[in-house]
Amino acid sequence: LNRTAIDADHEFEARHGRKIAEVFAKEGEEHFRDLERSLLLDLLDLPQIVLATGGGAVLHPEFRGKLGGRFTIWLHAPLPLLAQRIDGSDRPSLTEDAGLRELEIVLEKRKTLYQHVATQTINADQPLPQIVDTIAARWHDRLNWRNER
């Protein structure tokens, strides 16, 4: 894609010198979301990037607004696969529930937001090289479409 790849979660931890789970545990989700919003808005000002956000990025109206007109992908995966991927991680809990039930609750709250901001939805229930190839193909299709106009 000829862009700099940035992972917002890694940038958050580098900027703040702490793990996201630690910020959640010590200052709470609201404080984390404030810090996250500020970081995301800063990152969107950088030129020529591919930004991987955490799933909660869509919770920030200001951030969603800045996504308008940008090539934005929702990597959609079945809940059991998502549960498998985060099992054993230090990801903070977002509800009173755990595991698959928590993911169901969170997705129910965010699904409409994901659909609203995404210009593309890609099935993430496939090997990583195939996901990357799909993203690259859709990016090139977009560039070709823009050049034809």
Distance CA 15, CA 121 (A): 30
Element (H, E) at 9: helix 8-16
What pLDDT is recorded for position 75?
95
Task: Give residue 23's pLDDT.
Answer: 96
Residue 135 phi, psi dihedral angles, 5° rounding = -60, -50
pLDDT number for residue 146: 65
> What is the per-residue pLDDT for 104?
93
- The pTM of this model reads 0.85
Mean pLDDT of residues grouped by 10 in the chain (149 residues)?
Answer: 93 97 94 96 94 93 90 93 84 80 92 94 94 93 73
Q: How far apart (Å, rounded) are the C-alpha atoms in residues 81 and 49?
A: 27
